[in-house]
Structure 1
Amino acid sequence: MVLDEGIKVSEPLLQQAQEALRRYREALGSAPPEEVERLGLEAVSLMQTVQAYQQRDWELGFKGRTVASQVSDYTQVD
């Protein structure tokens, strides 16, 4: 399935985004405000990048396919 391949490729990026979010949450209440802000911006930026990548992957993977064939990708049992 095309979507599975896209998920595998984006997984390291998603892990980076999750790690950035974890660092941000850990900094809340204990780090200087400037550091919390920087970590928050980093987390948001990485999450937006993941979202944009997955959206692009979705559009490229399903371009020109019928809705029925797209839906069948999600209803197949492996």
Structure 2
Amino acid sequence: MKVIKLAAVIDNSGNLHLDIPTELSSGTVDVVVVVNPSTPDTYHGKSYDFSDLAGRLSWEGDSVTQTRILRNEW
């Protein structure tokens, strides 16, 4: 098995043409093609602002002790 990595261009009709020279003798081979876009598709929309959902918890007491009490109930 031989792995070959190369840059290629997809034409306007969506076809990818590959012409790859190899050192293999003539015969049947299995070919696996992985297409990975060179430029990642990025989302340009506005991200949601979660600041109105964020809050702060007021805790009175020892949080570690309370956690151990809850854990020991199991």
If the length of structure 1 is used for normalisation, what is the TM-score? Answer: 0.25
Which is richer in helix? 1
Greater Rg, structure 1 or structure 2?
Answer: 2
Larger RCO: 1 or 2 (CA < 8 Å, sep 6+) = 1
Taking structure 2 as the reference length, what is the TM-score of the superposition? Answer: 0.26
